[in-house]
């Protein structure tokens, strides 16, 4: 009975607090089907991963979205400036990334939104548009706080659990195999690495980009995913693969 109770409680928490949960306000986890997917990175900036990721994105011609943590942005401001300077979107991922964020009260929730907003606005020179809560967990005060700050809540449609010691090959196969047109892909910075020096996320990234393109899915920033598609060339056929309906929960 105890195991059944624990399982039921876990299910309820996932439904309420998880990336597609609706109880604490709407959030965007995918868009209408289109031949693009948003490539997003959480938990940075990281002094080793962020430069490596930016190098790969520049080499492959990809614009992505970085959901930065405020205290880490203040520790490594030049990495935020570089990401913005190279055309990437800077989103908010709370100010301190507390693991108990779903239990935060109104004052702490306010600080976790407003302080990172001020930090990233100053460092990037632009007004951020999107907020992703820590671990995708929300609380009863967050939706109003995000709206009052002029932001929109965003989660994701597919993740590779790259923070759990998975190999680069498994990260690539999971993301490329499961993402759908118009989806939002979640990866992380600062993932535990082996002695080779690069995190499995960084080592997987080129393969993820190549695999998405092999499926005729172009990796883009969240801003670009939500922008209108370029007008097709005269005579060009539409090649949007099958996909689920929009994911505004």
Is residue 50 in some structural domain? Answer: yes
Greater pLDDT, 17 or 119: 119
Q: What is the pLDDT of residue 248?
A: 58
> Does the active-site annotation cover 188?
yes
Is residue 240 in some structural domain? Answer: no
Is residue 109 in some structural domain? Answer: yes
In this structure, what token pair is assigned to residue 133? 């809560």
Is residue 205 in some structural domain? Answer: yes
Is residue 146 in some structural domain? Answer: yes
Candidate from 60-74, 111-125, 165-179, 223-237 with smallest mean pLDDT: 223-237
Q: Specify the number of domains making up the chain.
A: 1
Q: How confident is the model at residue 233 (pLDDT cuts 50, 70, 90)?
A: low
- The whole domain housing 185 covers 25-226
Please tell me which residue in 93, 188, 216, 224 is annotated as part of the active site: 188
Is residue 220 in some structural domain? Answer: yes
Please tell me which residue in 42, 46, 49, 95 is annotated as part of the active site: 42
- Yes or no: say if 59 and 187 are a contact pair by the CB < 8 Å rule: no
In this structure, what token pair is assigned to residue 213? 């393109």
| DSSP H stretches of helix in 61-105 | 70-75, 77-85
pLDDT digits (tens, 9 = 90+) for 58-107: 999 999 999 999 999 999 999 999 999 999 999 999 999 998 888 889 99
Other C-beta atoms within 10 Å of 157: how many? 23
In this structure, what token pair is assigned to residue 14? 């996932």
Once rounded to an integer, what is the mean pLDDT over residues 152-161?
95
Is residue 238 in some structural domain? Answer: no
Q: Alpha carbon of 182 to those of 28, 122, 235, 247: distances in Å?
A: 11, 30, 24, 9
pLDDT for residue 52 is more than 90: yes
Is residue 14 in some structural domain? Answer: no
Instruction: Please report the DSSP string for 210-224 in residue order.
Output: HHHHHTT-EEE-HHH
CATH code assigned at 173: 3.20.20.370
CA distance 51 to 61: 15
> Does the active-site annotation cover 42?
yes
Q: Alpha carbon of 38 to those of 22, 151, 236: distances in Å?
A: 21, 18, 24
């Amino acid at each position: 009975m105890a195991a059944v109770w624990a399982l039921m409680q876990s299910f309820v928490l996932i439904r309420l607090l998880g990336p597609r949960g609706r109880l604490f306000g709407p959030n965007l986890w995918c868009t209408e089907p289109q031949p693009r997917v948003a490539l997003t990175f959480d938990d940075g900036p990281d002094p080793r991963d962020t430069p490596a990721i930016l190098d790969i994105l520049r080499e492959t011609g990809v614009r992505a979205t970085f959901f930065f943590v405020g205290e880490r942005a203040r520790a490594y401001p030049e990495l935020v400036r570089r990401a913005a300077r190279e055309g990437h979107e800077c989103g908010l991922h709370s100010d301190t990334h507390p693991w108990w964020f779903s239990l935060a009260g109104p004052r702490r929730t306010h600080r976790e939104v407003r302080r990172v907003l001020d930090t990233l606005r100053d460092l990037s020179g632009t007004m951020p548009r999107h907020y992703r809560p820590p671990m995708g967990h929300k609380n009863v005060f967050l939706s109003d706080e995000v709206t009052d700050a002029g932001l929109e809540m965003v989660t994701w449609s597919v993740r590779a659990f790259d923070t759990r010691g998975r190999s680069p090959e498994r990260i690539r196969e999971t993301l490329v195999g499961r993402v759908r047109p118009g989806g939002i892909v979640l990866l992380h910075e600062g993932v535990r690495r082996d002695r080779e020096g690069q995190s499995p996320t960084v080592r997987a990234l080129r393969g993820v980009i190549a695999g998405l393109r092999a499926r005729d899915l172009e990796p883009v920033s969240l801003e670009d995913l939500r922008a209108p598609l370029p007008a097709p060339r005269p005579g060009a056929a539409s090649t949007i693969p099958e996909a689920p309906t929009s994911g505004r929960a």
